[in-house]
């Protein structure tokens, strides 16, 4: 939406400016008809402690978004500081729809069965409670059904200025 009397915001300028906002990197996964789907996101946020709620945003045209119309259980793996290769792989366009997690060690989350990426800093198992349209993305809110933490010494992975960097 453009405010009357102002010029629209240039998309490249917006992308560059928002790229200076450090964001944690995570992987969201879901299983539909026995096939695991995953994507890298940098838009995970805690919404509420009581009840525990988490959100992430996903592009409306993504495969994962399509799957979420049929399956309400999903998992989040908060990537550790040494997992940039996982983030890059699961963010790469054109990766196969089937077998995309074959090269990523993982285990099934306890309730949704969606993959938890091995070695992550933390994990969440969630069920969708709301989906809100937001421009070219949808904001997915979920109840947290289970949570676990990785190694105490694990750092996090942060997206900043178009790159992922480990932080301890």
Residue 125 dihedral angles phi and psi, to the nearest 5°: -115, 125
Mean pLDDT, to the nearest integer, of 56-78? Answer: 95
pLDDT score at 158: 96
CA distances from 10 to 6, 15, 40 (A): 12, 9, 25
Q: Which residues of 102-114 are buried (b: 16+ CB within 10 A; e: fewer)?
A: eebebeebeebbb
Q: pLDDT tens digits for 110-150?
A: 999 999 999 999 999 999 999 999 999 999 999 999 999 99
pLDDT score at 1: 53
Classified as helix, coil or strand, 85 is helix
Query: What is residue 8's DSSP assignment?
Result: P
Q: Which of 20, 154, 161, 138 is nearest to 77 (CA)?
A: 154
């Amino acid at each position: 939406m453009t405010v009357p009397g102002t010029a629209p915001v240039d998309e490249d300028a917006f992308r560059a400016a928002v790229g200076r906002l450090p964001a944690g990197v995570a992987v969201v996964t879901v299983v539909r008809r026995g096939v695991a789907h995953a994507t890298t996101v940098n838009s995970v946020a805690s919404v509420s402690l009581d009840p525990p709620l988490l959100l992430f945003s996903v592009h409306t045209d993504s495969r994962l978004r399509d799957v979420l119309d049929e399956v309400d259980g999903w998992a989040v793996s908060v990537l550790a500081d040494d997992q940039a290769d996982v983030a890059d792989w699961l963010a790469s366009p054109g990766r196969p729809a089937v077998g995309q997690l074959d090269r990523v060690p993982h285990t099934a989350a306890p309730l949704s069965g969606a993959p938890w990426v091995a070695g992550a800093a933390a994990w969440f198992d969630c069920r969708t409670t709301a989906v809100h349209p937001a421009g070219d993305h949808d904001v997915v809110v979920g109840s947290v059904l289970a949570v676990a933490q990785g190694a105490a010494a694990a750092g996090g992975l942060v997206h900043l200025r178009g790159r992922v960097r480990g932080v301890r």
